[in-house]
Chains A and B, each alone.
Chain A
Amino acid sequence: MNALKSTLNEVLASVLPIVAIVLILHFTVTPLEGELLGAFLLGALLIIIGLTIFLFGINQGLSQIGEGLGASLAHSNSLITIIFFSLIIGFFVSFAEPDLRILAKQVDLVTSSQFPSLAMVVVVSIGLGVMMTLGMVRIVSKVRIRWVFLFAYGVIFILSVFSSFDFIAIAFDASGATTGAITVPFMLALATGITFYKRHDNHSEADSFGLVGIASSGAIIGTLSFGLIKGLGKLTGSLPTEVLPEGNLSSLYAPIISPIALDSFFSLLPIIIIFILFQIFSFKYPKRKFLDIIRGIILTYMGLVIFMLGVNGGFMGVGSVLGHSLATNGSKTLILVASLALGLATVLAEPAVHVLTDQVATITANSVRRALVFIFLSLAVGLALFLSALRILVPEIELWMYLLPGFGLTVILAFFTDDLFVGMAYDAGGVASGPMTASFSLAFIQGIAAAVPNADVVSEGFGMIAIVALTPILALEILGLLYSRALKKKAKGGIG
């Protein structure tokens, strides 16, 4: 029972802050009309229930499959096998990601179909598959992770020099979109599995992290390369402006139930197929364990559907309305403060964040405290939304002014930070830009942009996710520096 209680407590502690902030805004500056408040509270309830079930499901299903797969690849002792399966797994897991398809449709629209949505999904998935393979090969080789990121972001930098700003933002957005609620826990487990059989030395625990970060850089590289080949410049098309939702409970929830049920199923499908194939040919788990994993997958699916219903039905509309009415009625200071506060709170409710911090605690035997990682991620995403809102209010700020020095700094800091934290930091970049960011925060920022004259809703939105992918990397690298310093100080204190 304690396990259920402690997970529920954790989920409550991560969802209630957003509810509190929205309620404060509702009673002070931006009252939510009609049944919108009710829809929001129902959404919060669904998110709490969904996230709790989801986290149990991940533990029993996806994590087991990922670790088993990693271990059996490591056991194969053959580089060719690892490369072959990593490419296939990486490609299909990304291909099945619903967020990526939504993004691809938007890109199709804004580029007036120069960048067709299927091509986008394929290109991003190839990029992700290739880089994830590189990440897997790195784990079994002895190359330190900082070099991989120097290489990946070096390539991204070179490609960016020749790309348009709008397109760079889309590329970063693609990396956020591929690393969703299903792919991230799966890749984290895969890395843990393949690391487990290595000789137990200083690097083995650090190797459990970084795979998500490397894989998501592949999505960026894929998109940018494709854009260059096709010779895409400025965005020409435009997105249909989102209609602000009418405050009616059934009209908010009813139409999204079946698409969400279908999308969630497709995102799990490649993993289910891979699991069944490996069960037949490699794992050969006893029936009981096999059924346990199947139950884990079913729980994951149920949890994900309930969670996504809450996010899309209750939160997204409120995010958009909040952003819009804040920007219409509130002062600039208020907009910035509200963005900061929402950013601080939303990242806590990202499903993959819980999986990542869990893994951090387990692998370091709680030496790196979960709460510390949560605090730094929270600060990071708070800052990210603050910077995104600031960019809308101050048109002189270009996106590259954040991204170029920001990502440059992450690569430099990687050379001064413990490997464990470098991997963790880049993973966190993918983890933080999950479904909450992609719906609630995105709707909020686009809501602000829609109300501010001269602001471009499309490019502000794309830019926001790039910033959310950046700040967590910096934050966790800084945490790593502080942590190593604290340990050194302690060692000087003379503890055996």
Chain B
Amino acid sequence: MNYHLLTCIVGESQSHKLHTTIKMLDCVAGVSFLGAGTVQSGLAKLLGIKEEPKEIIHLLIRAEDTHHALLLLSSELHLEKKGSGIAYITRTVGEGMNEEEAMYQKITVITERGGAEEVMDHARAAGATGGTILHGRGTGGHIATRLFGFEIEPEKDVLIILSSDQITQKIVQELEEHFHFNEPGSGILFVEPILKVIGLPEKKQDA
């Protein structure tokens, strides 16, 4: 089965609406980060405000559902209006897909809070040269657990590794063996094709 990655970036004021909209979507997994958007305004500059809070959400959605999902997000959040946020879709590498044009891949692993270091250790053993850990919270589940009306969403670690074709396969294989991502609750791994990379150190290939 093929999946697409739907990414949405909105300001704080849109965050609530975004999350209620996500509930209507049928997504496999979702993770949300806090970030900062840039600001350009006179008064804000005077107060030294250079950035404002943003929320970035990645949703893993079945390829055939993405179009509908994007339309729904766009109409609910009025994305056509300036300053209301953006959303875009990227591909992930599916089983048996021919990705000739992509020499590199971006591996993303979503684990429980505090789990990323262990995943990285295994990825490194399989040939990864480095990785980046982000801190986010899981979102998009169908079952909502509430506390005083506020939905409780667990914290997640998100590990991002860039690597070249052959090493990617080794890393994914090693990680799947160790963490059994196919079992529910064990985490999520997906791979995206990358067309060009600058700054990735070449690791000596084992024969």
Contact = CB atoms under 8 A, between A and B. Distances in A.
A31 B145 CA distance: 46
A369 interface: yes
A3 B51 contact: yes
B133 A486 contact: no
A372 B145 CA distance: 14
B154 A367 contact: yes
Interface string B133-159: 101111001110111101011111100
Contacts of B142: 495
Nearest to A6: B12
Contacts of B49: 3-4, 56
A482 B146 CA distance: 10
Interface string A466-496: 0000000000000000110011011101111
A371 B33 CA distance: 18
Interface string A295-326: 11001000000000000000000000000000
**Interface size class of chain B, counting residues whose CB lies under 8 Å from the partner chain:** 35 or more
B130 to A, nearest CB: 14
A2 B55 CA distance: 14
Interface stretch (B73-81, B160-168, B185-193): B185-193
A63 to B, nearest CB: 12
Given A1-B44, A60-B48, A292-B48, A493 B155 contact: no
B176 interface: no
A252 B4 CA distance: 64
A366 B39 contact: no
B181 to A, nearest CB: 9
B34 A299 contact: no
Interface stretch (B64-72, B97-105, B109-117, B195-203): B109-117
Given A201-B114, A489-B145, A493-B143, A1 B43 contact: yes
A490 B44 contact: no
A490 B135 contact: no
Interface in A211-227: none
A258 interface: no
A1 B155 CA distance: 29
Interface in B1-56: 11-13, 28-29, 32-34, 39, 41, 43-44, 47-49, 51-53, 55
A496 B133 contact: no
B96 interface: no
B152 A366 contact: no
Q: Mostly helix, strand, loop or mixed at chain A's interface?
A: helix
Interface string A190-220: 0000000001111111000000000000000
A2 B154 contact: no
A490 B185 contact: no
B148 A372 contact: yes
B152 A486 contact: yes
Given A299-B47, A366-B34, A3 B52 contact: yes
A496 B138 CA distance: 9
Given A2-B11, A486-B152, A493-B143, A56 B136 contact: no
B141 A490 contact: yes
Interface residues of A, number: 41
B143 A483 contact: no
Contacts of A363: 135
A375 interface: yes
A20 B147 CA distance: 27
Contacts of B51: 3
B149 to A, nearest CB: 9
B156 to A, nearest CB: 8
B141 A56 contact: no
A328 B143 CA distance: 53
A474 B13 CA distance: 32
Contact of B145 (A3, A199, A375, A490): A490
Given A2-B11, A487-B152, A372 B47 contact: no
Contact of A365 (B47, B48, B135, B145): B135
B147 A3 contact: no
B154 A491 contact: yes
A362 B47 contact: no
A329 interface: no
A6 B52 CA distance: 10
A490 B148 contact: no
Interface of B: 11-13, 28-29, 32-34, 39, 41, 43-44, 47-49, 51-53, 55, 110, 113-114, 116-117, 133, 135-138, 141-143, 145-148, 150, 152-157, 184-188
Given A202-B114, A365-B33, A495-B143, 4 more contacts: A199-B117, A201-B117, A486-B146, A493-B145
29 contacts: A1-B41, A1-B43, A1-B44, A3-B44, A3-B51, A3-B52, A4-B44, A56-B49, A200-B114, A200-B116, A200-B117, A200-B157, A201-B114, A205-B113, A299-B47, A361-B34, A364-B155, A365-B34, A365-B155, A366-B153, A367-B137, A372-B148, A483-B147, A486-B152, A487-B152, A489-B145, A493-B141, A495-B143, A496-B110
Interface of A: 1-4, 6, 53, 56, 60, 199-205, 292, 295-296, 299, 361-367, 369, 371-372, 375, 482-483, 486-487, 489-491, 493-496
